[in-house]
Structure 1
Amino acid sequence: MSSQLARSEESAVPGGSRVAAGAGLGVFAAVIGYLLTYLLISGEVRETISESVAEWKAVAWYFYNAHMVDIQSSGSFGPFGGTGTVNFITESSSSTAGVLYILPPLALLAVGAFLALRWNATDLGEAIIAGTPVTIGYGLVMGVGAIVTESSAEWSTFGIEGSSSTAPVLVPAVLLGGIIYPLVFSNAGAVIATAINGR
């Protein structure tokens, strides 16, 4: 009787509130992933990244790399210029750098599982409904972050103008990091939690 009452109370929660909660936890998952990245890699960032780049931006580049999103670097000097991509994790000498790849999935799995348990999901459909809204908040952070973490500089040497710019590649940052990652892992967490809770 008490489980039926709890189930009834959960179903009375408006859908908009569930979406807002999922989106909010998506933001939370992204922030936690970034902060853990900072704790693990900030030492290397201070040693290897140019002092002209803000440390928080450089850490964010590792965070995007952890989502399989490359960082694009472009530069020009007079008539010459070029563009390339880099993955700071694969080029890192830190023994903990590889751990960064598992941080986003773990954060998203945990958030998805929490939501499924919070809304008392009992089947696959309810699990997906619980986990999917995480994408809204996570995608927003990844999209905005790809823009605000750009680092650029301009200079002049002997009258010749030069410039450089480094930032996450925007389309993969949004599609891969902001949509596919949370869709896959938050829903996986919700499904796993629902299956375990149903036993």
Structure 2
Amino acid sequence: MYGAIVGITVYVVGYLVTYATAASAVNRAVQGNVRLTDAGAASAPAWKAVGWVFYDAHLVGTRLPDVSGHVDFVGLSGVQFLYLVPPLFLLAAGGIVAYLARVDDPKAGVQAGLTIAIGYLLFAIIGAILVSFVGIQPDLLRAAVVAGIVYPVACGAIGGGLVGVLRADRREIIGTPLS
């Protein structure tokens, strides 16, 4: 139950942190790049351009119309620190779900942490569609698979597993089940 809600929440918070820290840099990068201006990116609303960066921070890549390959909006904007946002936030989310589920062993923690992928996947797909603009869009398949499944499954499981380890150690030390 907690997993889907926490997955959705961490997606939204991750996007908002990306917006707060990168919106002006993204705008400068788009305005100063002839290739992007010619593709129509300069007239994109800021929230959509920040969305391209958010997906690039998940290693999804953004496509321009009539251009092969992906554009690295994170690199163009000079906000490489955003590559840390998805894994760190998803690690924390997996840990939060495991804590809320009161797991007391690593296996249960991993299982609890995995559940964040449900909500995150849904929003990763919807978000990729919403940030599309005049043919500029994140690769939808990669958004679903990499951003929606790989990142939350891997990071959520690790975060949940870590909480399971910590709570199991605590249980062993105090000798009673944790509540």
TM-score of the superposed pair, with normalisation by structure 2: 0.84
Instruction: Tell me which stretches of 4 or more aligned residues in structure 1 moved more than 6 Å.
Output: none
Shift of 1:59: 0.3
Match of 1:74 in 2: 65
* Cα distance in 1 for residues equivalent to 2:69 and 2:168: 49
How many Å apart are 1:51 and its aligned residue?
4.0
1:115 match: 97
Name the counterpart of 1:189. 159
Identity of aligned residues (%): 33
1:107 maps to amino acid: F
Unaligned runs of 5+ residues in structure 2 are 31-40, 170-179
In the other structure, the counterpart of 2:144 is 174
**Alignment correspondent of 2:26:** 45
Distance 2:156 2:162 in 1: 10
Alpha-carbon distance in 1 for matches of 2:152, 2:29: 30
The CA deviation string for residues 138-163 of structure 1, in whole angstroms up to 9 with x for no partner, is 001101111111101xxxxxxxxxxx
**How far 1:123 sits from its partner (Å)?**
1.9
In structure 1, stretches of 5+ residues that fail to align are 1-19, 76-81, 153-164
2:46 corresponds to 1:55: yes
Looking at CA atoms only, which structure, 1 or 2, has the larger radius of gyration?
A: 1
Distance (Å, rounded) in 2 between the aligned partners of 1:101 and 1:22: 23
Find 1:150's aligned residue among 132, 138, 157: 132
Residue 150 of structure 1 aligns to a residue in which SS? coil
| Structure with the higher helix share, 1 or 2 | 2
Post-superposition CA distance 1:27-71 (Å, at most 9, x none): 001011101111111111222334410100000100000000110
Q: Given the alignment, which residue of 125, 129, 135 partners 2:117?
A: 135
Give 1:86-101 correspondences, 5 Å limit.
86-92=71-77, 94=78, 97-101=79-83
Q: How many residues align?
A: 159
CA distance in 1, matches of 2:12, 2:71: 23
CA RMSD of aligned residues (A): 1.3
The two structures have a TM-score, normalised by structure 1, of 0.76
Alignment pair present for 1:124 and 2:116: no
